[in-house]
Each structure stands twice: as structure tokens, then as C-alpha cells.
């Protein structure tokens, strides 16, 4: 049973436009969320995170929004660039391990394609 869900397997966006990647979760005890980016033949790379005490966190072109009542978070990339083309994973820190980032629950990922 998936506790972290990314329901869109793929997303295609034009360069310069906004990319919005969505993630839903089922466990209301989750209190720390992360986004990772993964290129083929590489391991996931940390992008941005958000704690449940916030509803927004921004880092350059990347912004993550958290809606706790809806158990939903989203990653916004503005403006999108061709180099952003990758698989994006949403992850939650397992509360059974006290917020450890060494024990993450991942979604299935969304493949983002940014077209020039």
C-alpha cells in the first residue's frame, strides 16, 4: 500500500514555462518531506525539503508547497529548463524512525521532459 503517491508518471513542459509536480501522502504522521531528482545511471540528488511546520519553502527556481489538510505537496520549477529533464521523486521521512532522513518512503516518481 503506497503511502507516498505520485499519480502522474510523466509530464511534458515547454522551456521557460512552469513545471508542477504533485505528490499525495496517506500518513498524517509524516512531518518532513523531500524532493529528489534522478538522471539515468545516477543516484537520486536532493533538491529541496519542507517541514510540516511550514507551508512553503523556496530555493532559487524550485518551490515546494505543502497542504497538510489535503495531505498534498507540490514542486514548482520556474522557469523550466531542458536540463531539468529527469525523474523527480517525492519522499517522506518515516516517523517511526524519529525523522531520520536515512529512512525515506518514496513515491514512484514523475518523469519530467522540458522541451526547448
Tell me which stretch binds another protein (CB under 8 A): 11-19, 37-45, 55-63, 72-80.
37-45
Spatial contact of 95 and 25, defined as CB atoms under 8 Å apart = no
Tell me which stretch binds another protein (CB under 8 A): 14-22, 38-46, 54-62, 70-78.
38-46
CB closer to another protein, 66 vs 109: 109
Query: Other C-beta atoms within 10 Å of 30: how many?
Result: 21
Sheet of 56-59: strand order equals 4-5, 19-25, 72-77, 62-67, 56-59
Draw the binding track, 6-35, toward another protein (x: CB under 8 A; -: no contact). Answer: x-----------------------------
Side-chain half-sphere of 98: how many Cα atoms within 13 Å?
0
Nearest approach in angstroms of CB 44 to another protein is 5
Among the listed residues 46, 56, 82, 115, the single contact to another protein using CB under 8 A: 46
In whole angstroms, give the CA distance from residue 92 to residue 80: 24
Cβ neighbours of residue 100 closer than 8 Å, sequence gap 6 or more = 93, 94
CB closer to another protein, 29 vs 46: 46
What residue ranges bind another protein (CB under 8 A)? Answer: 4, 6, 36, 41-46, 49, 89, 91, 94, 96-109
Amino acid at each position: 500500500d503506497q503511502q507516498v503517491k505520485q499519480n502522474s508518471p510523466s509530464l511534458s513542459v515547454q522551456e521557460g514555462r512552469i513545471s508542477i509536480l504533485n505528490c499525495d501522502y496517506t500518513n498524517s504522521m509524516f512531518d518532513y518531506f523531500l524532493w529528489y531528482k534522478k538522471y539515468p545511471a545516477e543516484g537520486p540528488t536532493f533538491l529541496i525539503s519542507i517541514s510540516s511546520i511550514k507551508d512553503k519553502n523556496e530555493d532559487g527556481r524550485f518551490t515546494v508547497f505543502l497542504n497538510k489538510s489535503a495531505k498534498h505537496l507540490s514542486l514548482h520549477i520556474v522557469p523550466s529548463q531542458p536540463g531539468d529533464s529527469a525523474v523527480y521523486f517525492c519522499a517522506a521521512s518515516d516517523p517511526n524512525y524519529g525523522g531520520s532522513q536515512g529512512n525515506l518512503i518514496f513515491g514512484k516518481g514523475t518523469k519530467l521532459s522540458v522541451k526547448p
